[in-house]
Structure 1
Amino acid sequence: MNFQNPDKDGYYGDFGGAFIPEMLYPNVEELQQKYIQIIESEEFETEYQDLLTNYVGRATPLYFAKSLSEKYGAQIYLKREDLNHTGAHKINNALGQALLAKKLGKKRIIAETGAGQHGVATATACALLGLECIVYMGEIDIDRQAPNVARMKMLGAKVVPATSGSKTLKDAVNEALRDWINNATNTHYIIGSVVGPHPFPDLVARFQSVISKEIKEQLNQKLGRKNPDYLIACVGGGSNAAGTFYHFLNDQYVKLIVAEAGGLGIDSGKSAATTFLGTLGILHGSQSLIMQTEDGQVIEPHSISAGLDYPGIGPMHTHLFAEKKAEFFSINDDEALQSAFDLTKTEGIIPALESAHALAVLDKKKFEKEDVVVICLSGRGDKDMETYLKHLDNY
């Protein structure tokens, strides 16, 4: 079974597709017909790889975490996506899609953001490439991610608050889709995760696949082997996990572990653990698992992490869950906070709250001494300092 790419209709098994309003059909169809041809062209690849190396700062280090390894009795490596320009993995996709938009003749870019990292990455790419940029962000997220809002504005982006619903990531996506419907001809929507109508999940996964490509090369260089025993990544929509897993998806010996945001607990009514709480439905243009009521109304998610505060997961990850190809853990807010403070105090690295969910798996899963475990450190914790400071005395 091929877990890496969807079929011609955008399905990973039973999940995916393109469920879109008629007004968006020309845009989405244009993308479907042209994206692979463009991004696999020599001209595009040369320009994109040059930017990844000389602008983003890739390859990011694969760091052997000595203190973590001693504590948990395994060989633990951190893939340092936090060291990318703009502070997270999001820039890999934002730059790629902005370049693609230019090739398609689009001069206006819209994006959604939760934690603000995708918004900052998109604003950065647009500033570099001379594109107009509008970022939709939930009103609550604007308040809790103020530093990233300031960065987006400084980069020339217009930040538009989403004031409906839970005023978080889901609602920002809704607003961005409305904009796209009204400005279909001149606008490209840079979706930040492996969600949305086909071809977005595949497109984002391909741009993020540089993460797993480097992991293979770096493990070979360090250990003389290309494959780890375990890969761990957090999932909201799931772009950093898609990138971390991509080149290992069809390898039967590499074990994949996903950390979802448990919020205040699966049974608390304040959670974002979609594989534990979700049912089959359609959200933001694709069929996947969604947290919803019996009559199909979306249940508002909760996570201390703005980037994981989403009521669904991408179709690739839903397929991995359905086929038991990956093991899923629900990580509560307090568990993520504990792991964040532990990493900071033992390795001198302040992680993003999103990444802290992946780190928390170490307290829930038993590893052997010879196991090679790679954790995607998807972003740095600068944006979360206000939250960390509130809990400083508790950890």
Structure 2
Amino acid sequence: MERDPQEMATIVYTSGSTGQPKGVMHSFNTFRVVGEIYSKILGFDQDDRCLSYLPLAHIYERMGVEIPSCYAGFKVFFAESLQTFPADLRRARPTGFLSVPRLWTKFESAVDAKIPKKKQRILFRIPIIGKKVKHKILIQLGLQDCRFAATGSAPLPPTTVEWYRSLGLELLEGYGMSEDFGISHVTRPGESKIGYVGRPNEGVEARIETSGEIVIKSPAGMMGYFKDPEKTAESFTADGFFKTGDMGEYDAQGKLRITGRIKELFKTSKGKYVAPVPIENRLGRSSNVEVACVGGANQPATHALILLSEDLRAALDKGADRQSVEQELMQAMEETNAELDPHEHLQFLVVVKDVWTIENEFLTPTMKIKRNVIEKHYADRTDGWYSQQQKVIWE
């Protein structure tokens, strides 16, 4: 049955990383736009293969797998569970693979556990052996046939991007929201610039407001929020651009860099604003850190809540030396502070005991932190941590 392109086709709910999820209404025309744009950029055809593992209701999976597969007719494999994910990926051998930062860093950590970075650097420099080792790593990951790989939803540490490039896998970074069905910015093959999410997609208009906020008008823009006309009206400028809530800047080639989120800015007691995301990204470069959440509103300095990497948590449970971990965390904090303005300096790190997961609602389906949930959970302990005057605090 033929449908009116302007008829509502679906309601997609936002992840709720900064508050209550909203129902985003999209038309059938959005599906057409998504299929056309990404098929043109990435050259999908019926011989391609993708692995689906994120919730099918989420915008990232629908934009990256569902609609392109329907549009181009390629094969879609499904992961059975998180436990079987590595085997599922090797089974699928995708030619195109979209993933979130947390999984890209987990893959890297798993390889590092078998071949330490120092040994990798030595092996990679040997002409014939290096090529074989890199290919073997890609086979173990199930990515040996991957002609393009993408990352989105949150920033990926530059060192991780560079590591995948060293294997011969170019990670294409992109940027989009539920409100534009992910049709905002994307890095084209061969145009990667670390820390940037690429140029606007075809038909997308974007600009940076005087406040630093990115505003966008997309051909895949939403019809509005379900049963919330007031919120819909508040979300657009007078000339019809969607207010993303993100801050950014463009380089001379028109590539966008996300610098923070307006709602996440906070002031310390010194009266200066702090953007937590760039600090969290710097901490994330440490292999000991799985995810971080920076806070410090109305406090004399900032601090960070740290969830240690899965492997390190397991090692500590088996009796690994906690003091050496503290030393490494302090070093990571010092290296991070060296790159920050004085008012952004971290005073201490807190190693949390609870594991942040999607199930306990500390993380979104794409594994971004739910900042409001985390801040509320630890709020009654924050003042006490500041009074301890320690560099590393174990909860």
| TM-score after normalising by structure 2 | 0.29
Could you say which structure has the larger radius of gyration?
Answer: 2
Instruction: Give the strand-richer structure, 1 or 2.
Output: 2
Q: Which has the higher contact order (CA 8 A, sep 6+)?
A: 1
Larger helix fraction of residues: 1
